[in-house]
Structures are given as C-alpha cells and as structure tokens.
C-alpha cells in the first residue's frame, strides 16, 4: 500500500505579508504545494514570486472583481463578487470565470497549474462544483474534495481528486505543532492525502478573519519537529501532479 501527502497552503496572493510567509513555508518548511488567488491587488506579484513551485488555482468567487465578463451585474455587488449570490451562479458562469482565472494564473507562472480548489470551499454548492469540474476535465486537472460526498461527485464527473482531506480554519489557529504531529503520526496508509493549511504572516493590507493564526501555522510548518514527523510518517511527500496520472472512469 502506498500513501502520498500533499501539504497545500491556501491564499497565495491574498496579501503581500501572507504571500511572504507562505513562500517561506514552501522554501524552508514542509509545505509542498500552494493555491493562488488571481483577482486581488497583490496576486500578480505573488504568482511571479512563486515561479518554479507547485502552484494551483485558488478559485475566488467570494471577494474582488471577476476576471471574465460572464457574470451579470445582477449577481455582483458594485462590480465585486457577492457571496450571497453564490447559489445563483450557473455552471456556465463558474466555468467561464474558472477558465479566465486559470489562464491568467498560468500566464504569470509560465507553467501549467497543478490543480484547482476554491476559496472558502464554495464548490460545496452544486452549480460551482459542476462548473469547476467542467474546466478540470477540459484541462486534465485534479480538484480538491473535502469529504466523501464531494469526492464521489467529482469522480462521477470524471475528475481526479484526493482520497483524504485534513485541515480547517477558525477562530483559533488550526495547525498547531502538537496537532500536526498527531495528524502525521496517524495518516491513512494508502491513497492521496491533502493536508490543507494557511501559513503566512499576518495580512498587512487586507482584513482577514484568519490573521495571527497564520503566523502560528507558519511556525508549525517551519519547525524541525514537523520535518522529523513528516520523514517518519510513512507517506511520500508529493504535489497534486501525482493525481494527474490517475485515470477516472
């Protein structure tokens, strides 16, 4: 039996300070992958700084302005995304915006994206999931699943996805060092495991409900104890490219 672990940091491009810390976690710590937002003021600089690293698209339908022209004004708030309208987005709307965000990201990276996921897990909504899956199939890209129901839905649509998912964010920092060490010691013994995290420095320009918590996570993923635990966990560190080779019926 073989297990792979992808330690993926969300929110590259959210804020310059978040980006600095996140890239440090990739270059000096145990984070192997990231997903980038492309429609915020510091997004381009972040993507350029991440060239050569494993980066996917963090599809953002929650804040900032759309990249495509597919979304009607009635679904926006003064031109910006309106999260209260998410259930009114059709698969066509989502697919058009996902293509536009993906193409922009890849133009900055100078390389193909590794995978797709969605800010705030908005692909829990059926229309978002269907639109995103359409683009994933077109491009042969894996998509993050956060539970068994989403995993089954993606696989039914012909999309490769992770077999297991770990991670969360809330009022307190999720990945403290003790929690990470416990998780790495009790991983599933087969399949592709995504461990989602949010390391970074506290945002300096944009307000975020997950601020000082990012600095706790940064310290966790930089720690020597985390590196030792990863080496001993039995799973092979990987990026989402391991899923690009998986065939889905």
CATH level 3 topology of 3-244 = TIM Barrel (3.20.20)
pLDDT exceeds 90 at position 247: no
Q: How far apart are CA 80 and CA 108, in angstroms?
A: 22
pLDDT category of residue 197 using cuts at 50, 70 and 90: very high
pLDDT digits (tens, 9 = 90+) for 91-127: 999 999 999 999 999 999 999 999 999 999 999 999 9
Contacts of residue 137, Cβ cutoff 8 Å, sequence gap at least 6: 157, 158, 159
pLDDT digits (tens, 9 = 90+) for 214-245: 999 999 999 999 999 999 999 999 999 999 87
Domain boundaries, the chain: 3-244
Q: How far apart are CA 160 and CA 143, in angstroms?
A: 7
Torsional sign, CA 214, 220, 223, 226: negative
Across 46-60, average pLDDT: 98
Token digits of residue 160? 């490769």
């Amino acid at each position: 039996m073989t297990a792979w672990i992808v330690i993926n940091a969300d929110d590259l491009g959210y804020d310059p300070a978040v980006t600095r810390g996140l890239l440090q976690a990739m270059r000096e710590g145990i984070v192997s992958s990231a997903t980038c937002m492309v429609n915020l003021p510091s997004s381009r600089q972040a993507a350029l700084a991440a060239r050569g690293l494993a980066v996917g698209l963090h599809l953002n339908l929650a804040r900032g302005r759309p990249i495509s022209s597919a979304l009607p004004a009635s679904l926006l708030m003064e031109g910006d995304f309106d999260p209260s309208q998410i259930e009114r987005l059709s698969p066509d709307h989502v697919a058009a915006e996902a293509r536009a965000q993906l193409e922009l990201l890849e133009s900055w990276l100078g390389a193909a994206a590794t995978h797709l996921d969605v800010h705030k897990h908005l692909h829990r909504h059926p229309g978002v999931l269907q639109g995103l899956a359409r683009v994933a199939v077109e491009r042969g890209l894996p998509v993050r699943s956060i539970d068994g129901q989403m995993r089954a839905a993606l696989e039914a649509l012909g999309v490769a996805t992770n077999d297991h998912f770990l991670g969360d964010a809330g009022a307190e920092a999720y990945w403290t060092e003790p929690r990470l060490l416990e998780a790495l010691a009790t991983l599933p013994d087969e399949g592709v495991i995504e461990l989602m995290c949010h390391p970074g420095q506290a945002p300096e320009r944009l307000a975020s409900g997950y601020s000082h918590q990012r600095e706790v996570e940064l310290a966790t993923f930089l720690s020597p104890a985390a590196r030792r635990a990863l080496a001993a966990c039995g799973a092979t560190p990987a990026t989402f490219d391991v899923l690009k080779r998986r065939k889905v019926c």
